[in-house]
Amino acid sequence: MTEEKLDKKSGYKTLLLSVILSSPGPLVLGIGLTIGRSSTQISDFTRRTAELLAIIASFVVYIMTHKEGMDDFTKRKIEKISNTFVGIIMCISGISMIVLAFVSDGGSKGNVLPAFVIALLGAITNTLFWRKYTKLHSHNGNAILGVQARLYGAKSIVDVCVTLTLFVVATMPDSKVSFYFDLVGSILVSLYMLRSGIKTIVENRLNN
């Protein structure tokens, strides 16, 4: 098997694994929202749902652009559309989280344990994926894998912030400290996702 085919197979497997491991997150968090109402938890549910759509889109495009006979111009065009979509998803996710952070009330947050566990596992898993995508991109320069490296880098940082925030909310429920920590954590997560999305869109447009 040639090196190019090995790279293609490795990229395919990594994207497929990303889709599989990202799929349960929104479902578990959605169920968790029936017992917990932290603004960070709601924001995290919105973010993970949007990111799952972006990862699925990237996976589909990766398969399309690696079919035999597709010319380089068409391939780059499809990749740019996909990467722009990922950037837009990140921006929408960031904006929605900011809105949710400010419309959320300061009442009881309920049980945030499911969201905390998901965020903790996400921080570990996404860091591993970030390293994998970065290695793949540096090896073959594929645009789809490059944007996934950025997405997972952002996801890793966001999940660390979410984990810390939900830990405070879980250990000090209904306190002023947890309320402000929850609010600030949600806003910081939102701004980081928004910044990453804008940067992805701008760089994708400039990369002809």
Give me the tens of pLDDT residue by residue for the chain, a chain 208 residues long.
Answer: 455 566 678 888 999 999 998 888 777 767 766 666 666 667 777 777 888 888 898 898 888 888 777 788 888 888 888 888 888 888 887 887 777 667 665 555 567 777 788 888 888 999 999 999 999 888 877 888 888 888 888 888 888 887 887 788 778 877 777 777 777 877 887 888 888 889 888 887 877 5
CA distance 200 to 151: 9
Query: How far apart, in Å, do the first and last CA atoms of the chain sit?
Result: 31
pLDDT at 39: 65
Q: What is the DSSP letter of 35?
A: T
- φ, ψ for residue 182 (rounded to 5)? -60, -45
Q: Where are the beta strands (DSSP E) in 44-142?
A: none
AA letter at 44: D
pLDDT at 130: 93
Distance of CA 119 to the CA centre of its chain: 11
CA distance 101 to 62: 34
Nearest to 44 by CA among 126, 107, 106, 108: 126
Length of the chain: 208
pLDDT at 128: 93
CA distance 17 to 11: 10
Kindly provide the b/e burial profile for residues 184-193, where b requires at least 16 CB atoms within 10 angstroms of the residue's own CB.
Answer: ebbbbbbebb
Supply the pTM of this predicted model: 0.75
3-class secondary-structure state, position 68: coil
pLDDT at 124: 92
Nearest to 10 by CA among 125, 124, 137, 143: 137
